[in-house]
């Protein structure tokens, strides 16, 4: 049941309805551990830095000038690892071959999400950006980046009968990614593809050619769609980014005034009007459109440092596992690492992972990166 709910969570995440499976997954996880009289947690090598980060965020929330907002958001932050990371890690320890099904479920959800984004973009008459009913265009871009990268891993790991189907899945996923017009998501996808192809090593020649082909196709698609072309060219237009520059300047002032405990996790939106600069069109932005800067504002410099220590340890262990793993699953682990790097690169110009929904994406990928390999036979049979 836990494995089924985990795959259902991955499938529903790209379309914006992760809680439909995520809540039953959490309840089943808590019930299972309660009946066995153990904590609903799976020990991992990142427990210590994760605990330090959560404690720092909790202290920041307690001392925040907005505890009514920061404390509930702090609880949600702590709930994310319990709801997604812990059950994913234990399930993948018990059934290492499930990683293939988890990636396939996410990619399948990405196909539906990508087609839905394109449909909404088409019905906007070319005057808007593609999104989803429950996810904005940048959030949709985040989940589609991961879907595309995981599908690339499946392309290398799949048997000959399934390769054409897996390759075809990229069409709606990348079309949806293009229709979001999210430049940050495009950046994340490029970085993720480069990371995944480098990590596959000698077994990833097919993946490198696939990544190169997809990259060329993406460039041609951007050049062919006027709105996408304009969005891509606007990257070098400094005048077009003045709102973001003013936002970051104000955020830095917030950090200077609250360097130790911040304004409270999730309280950026409430405090920002006090620091808004003249000429700034941003009225009540939910975050700084830069995850490290947002964390520094909301949890103080100690909160940012604690998160970076946790993240470095997570990626260090994850990448080590990719490089030492058997060829059968190396492509999938490399794709998961590429997806993680891609969505983190997106966060340098956005903050979509700060939502509880998108947090599931982070924690599921983290579980996939840290789950140990089983025996070679169990990997193949899974």
Mean pLDDT of 244-265: 96
Place of tokens 């990268």: 149
| Residue 310: both structure tokens together | 């946790």
Lowest mean pLDDT among 85-94, 194-203, 239-248: 194-203
pLDDT-derived band at 202, boundaries 50, 70, 90: low
Query: CA angle, corner 103, sides to 85 and 361, nearest 5?
Result: 40
**Which among 192, 26, 182 is positioned nearest to 114, based on CA atoms?**
182
Q: How high is the pLDDT of residue 127?
A: 64
**Which among 96, 92, 86 is positioned nearest to 22, based on CA atoms?**
86
pLDDT-derived band at 155, boundaries 50, 70, 90: confident
Greatest distance between any 2 Cα atoms in the chain = 64
DSSP for 187-254? Answer: HHHHHHHHHHHHHTGGGGHHHHHHHHHHHHHHHHHHHHSHHHHHHHHGGG-GGGGHHHHHHHHHHHHH
Lowest mean pLDDT among 53-57, 66-70, 207-211: 207-211
Check whether 381 has a pLDDT greater than 50. Answer: no
Cα–Cα distances (Å) from 235 to 226, 229, 239, 276, 349, in that order, read: 15, 10, 10, 24, 12
Q: Name the helix (H) or strand (E) containing 173.
A: helix 160-179
Q: How high is the pLDDT of residue 211?
A: 67
Lowest mean pLDDT among 20-34, 198-212, 272-286, 352-366: 198-212
- Higher-pLDDT residue of 238 and 68 is 68
Looking at the whole model, is its pTM more than 0.75?
yes
Place of tokens 């994913």: 88
Q: Which residues contact 214 (CB under 8 A, 6 or more apart)?
A: 148, 152, 170, 174, 193
């Amino acid at each position: 049941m836990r494995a089924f709910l985990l795959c259902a969570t991955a499938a529903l995440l790209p379309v914006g309805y992760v809680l439909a499976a995520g809540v039953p997954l959490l309840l089943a996880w808590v019930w299972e551990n309660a009946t066995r009289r153990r904590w609903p947690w799976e020990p991992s090598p990142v427990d210590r830095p994760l605990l330090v980060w959560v404690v720092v965020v909790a202290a920041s929330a307690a001392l925040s000038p907005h505890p009514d907002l920061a404390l509930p958001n702090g609880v949600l932050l702590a709930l994310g690892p319990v709801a997604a990371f812990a059950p994913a890690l234990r399930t993948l320890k018990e059934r290492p071959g499930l990683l293939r099904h988890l990636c396939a479920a996410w990619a399948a959800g990405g196909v539906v999400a990508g087609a839905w984004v394109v449909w909404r973009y088409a019905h906007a008459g070319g005057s808007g950006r593609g999104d989803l009913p429950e996810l904005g265009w940048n959030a949709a871009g985040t989940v589609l980046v991961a879907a595309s990268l995981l599908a690339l891993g499946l392309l290398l790991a799949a048997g000959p009968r399934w390769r054409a189907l897996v390759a075809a899945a990229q069409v709606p996923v990348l079309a949806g990614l293009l229709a979001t017009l999210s430049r940050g998501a495009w950046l994340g996808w490029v970085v993720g593809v480069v990371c995944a192809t480098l990590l596959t090593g000698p077994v990833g020649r097919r993946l490198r050619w696939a990544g190169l082909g997809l990259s060329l196709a993406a460039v041609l698609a951007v050049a062919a769609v006027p709105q996408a072309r304009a969005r891509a060219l606007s990257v070098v237009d400094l005048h077009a980014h003045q709102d973001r520059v003013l936002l970051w300047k104000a955020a830095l002032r917030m950090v200077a005034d609250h360097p130790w405990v911040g304004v409270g996790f999730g309280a950026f939106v409430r405090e920002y009007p006090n620091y808004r600069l003249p000429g700034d069109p941003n009225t009540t932005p939910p975050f700084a459109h830069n995850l490290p800067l947002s964390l520094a504002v909301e949890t103080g410099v100690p909160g940012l440092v604690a998160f970076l220590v946790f993240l470095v340890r997570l990626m260090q262990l994850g990448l080590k596992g990719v490089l030492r793993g058997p060829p059968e699953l190396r492509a999938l682990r490399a794709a998961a690492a590429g997806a993680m790097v891609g969505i983190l690169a997106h966060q340098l110009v956005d903050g979509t992972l700060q939502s509880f929904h998108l947090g599931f994406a982070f924690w599921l990928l983290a579980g996939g990166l840290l789950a140990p390999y089983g025996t070679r036979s169990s990997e193949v049979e899974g």
